[in-house]
Amino acid sequence: MGLKPVKIGLLGLGTVGSGAVQVLSRNAREICRRAGRGIVISHAAALEPPKLPIDTSAIKITQDGFAVVNDPDVSVVIELIGGYQPALELVLKAIENGKHVVTANKALIARHGNEIFAAAQKHGVTVAFEAAVAGGIPIIKALREGLAANHIEWAAGIINGTGNFILTEMREKGRDFSEVLVEAQALGYAEADPTFDIEGIDAAHKLTILASIAFGIPLHFERCYTEGISHITRDDVAYAEALGYRIKHLGVTRKTQQGIELRVHPTLIPERCLIANVNGVMNAVLVKGDMVGQTLYYGAGAGALPTASAVVADLIDVVRSLTTDPNNRVPHLAFQPDSIKDDPILPIGDIETAYYLRMLAEDVPGVMGRVTTALGRAGISIEAVIQKEPSEGVAQVPIIMLTHRVHEKQMQAAIAEIESMDCIAGSVTRIRLENLE
Ligand code: HSE
């Protein structure tokens, strides 16, 4: 413990930045016992003066992020400002200056990670990003190190806390979508732009990172199929429940012989699955390795202190490795850089899942026959059907179906045929279904 404390530069003193300052202060002794030396934030950049419940007088505070990344006393930069710019420019400058970087910025890593890791390798520094995926859950560490003996077959996770919070409140309390979103924003869970949460973009950032580490492929955020939860209705939540399923917003990535599946969308999963019972802002990731079988990781996916827990864990890792040879550190994307393989990412049409379908049909004889014939012609077999009673004075009835697995292309063709029938009103709702077996 004779080494001098390591000086840290912090970019951003918002929800997670304030959390990191608190964690480092409250757990300073324990952190020092683990890292082998003290860790102190010496220089921070924030647009507004911080409002923290602890004494920050020893931290030099500026509005200029470049003053922090150019500070010769700083060995590690923590980037917690989020977004693409100026985060990218600051991170690349820090790397160029020979500083290690810890970031919680999933958007930055998912979109610019290939460039950032190449720069880090060139300059012999580490860029750590545990907090970018699933908040406080050490899923990056588990995938990259704990499961390193396996071929990863697939991973599926609830990786957006805000979306899970909204779906849970809708199911349990019948609350309104927009009212719950406002609450998630007030609690500091939602992104600066909450459409990132409800349209699946935040989950797509995180899944892109998980897929790279699971399969040793470059980051391909632009190829991730992304669908959010804003079109999910309370009726769908209730019908799914009647059939023994829960609707969760899942990120799914799977290695197949044809390529890699990379998709984020609402998904029916059997309510008996552990992950179907992950509620509120909690996150969970299921990973299937060929040797270990299924493993499940659960915890807080958002919030100041849980996310800061992951940031500080990365910081401790970086401090421990300050004196190690850069070529002998754990590779950023789990595989050695020259072993990264650009396997194809499959278009959504080539992906096979089961489906939940809901349509509004005229209450006349023969409708069900026409619908099932259209599905049958597309090679789609039906697993379950519910036809609801018509409401008084309404000529149309909802029909809900579960199908067996089929290629998305075939399902799209069948849905187009059903929607063209004069006995079907409006469009057919389709939600993918996974048994996670
Ligand atoms: N907006 C994100 C979420 C924060 O709700 O999960 C954590 O990445």
> Do the domain assignments include residue 319?
yes
Residue 160 CB–ligand 1 contact under 6 Å:
yes
How remote is the CA of residue 103 from the centroid of ligand 1, in Å?
14
Ligand 1 closest atom vs CA 283? 6
**Are residue 311 and residue 415 in the same domain, yes or no?**
no
Calculate how far, in angstroms, residue 125's C-alpha sits from the geometric centre of ligand 1: 27
Same domain, 145 and 286: yes
Q: How many domains does the chain have?
A: 3
The CB of 190 under 6 Å from ligand 1? The reply is: yes
Instruction: Indicate whether 233 and 114 sit together in one domain.
Output: no
Say whether both 132 and 155 belong to one domain: no
Residue 1 belongs to some domain of the structure = no
* Domain presence at residue 344: no
Q: Cβ(129) to ligand 1 under 6 A?
A: no
Say if residue 331 is in the same domain as residue 392. no
CATH of the domain at 71: 3.40.50.720
CA atoms within 13 A on the CB side of 53: 6
CA of 118 to the centre of ligand 1 (A): 27
Q: What is the CATH number of the domain that holds 228?
A: 3.30.360.10
Exposure of 293 by Cβ count < 10 A (0-12 exposed, 13-18 middle, 19+ buried)?
exposed
What is the span of the domain harbouring residue 369? Answer: 351-433
Same domain? 166 vs 261: yes
Say if 346 falls within a structural domain: no
Is residue 170 domain-shared with residue 199, that is, in the same domain?
yes
Neighbours of 120 (CB within 10 A): 22
State whether 279 and 406 are in the same domain: no
- 345, part of any domain: no
CA of 191, closest atom in ligand 1: 1
Closest CA to 399 of 407, 408, 390: 390
Q: 206 CA to middle of ligand 1, Å? A: 10
Give the CATH number of the domain where residue 360 resides.
3.30.70.260
Same domain as 296, residue 159: yes
Same domain for 178 and 261, yes or no, is yes
- Does residue 105 have its Cβ closer than 6 Å to ligand 1? no
Pocket of ligand 1 contains residue 302 by CB under 6 Å: yes
Contacts with 243 (C-beta within 8 Å, 6 or more apart), sequence order: 268, 356, 384, 386, 400, 402
* pLDDT, tens digit only, all 437 positions of the chain: 578 999 999 999 999 999 999 999 999 999 999 999 999 999 999 988 777 777 888 899 999 999 999 999 999 999 999 999 999 999 999 999 999 999 999 999 999 999 999 999 999 999 999 999 999 999 999 999 999 999 999 999 999 999 999 999 989 998 888 888 899 888 888 888 999 999 999 999 999 999 999 999 999 999 999 999 999 988 899 999 999 999 999 999 999 999 999 999 999 999 999 999 999 999 999 999 999 999 999 999 999 999 999 999 999 999 999 989 988 899 999 999 999 999 999 999 999 999 999 999 998 889 999 999 999 999 999 999 988 777 777 778 999 999 999 999 999 999 999 999 999 999 999 999 999 98
Answer yes or no: is 79 within a domain: yes
List active site positions: 206
Indicate if ligand 1 lies below 6 Å from the C-beta of 199. no
pTM here is: 0.96
The answer to whether residues 318 and 246 belong to one domain is no
Per-residue burial over 201-234, b = 16 or more CB atoms within 10 Å of its CB, e = otherwise: bbbbbbbbbbbbbbbbbebbbeebbbbbbbebee
Mutate to test the pocket of ligand 1, among 109, 130, 160 (most ligand atoms within 8 A of CB): 160
Q: In what order do the strands lie in the sheet with 127-128?
A: 60-62, 39-45, 6-11, 76-79, 100-103, 127-128
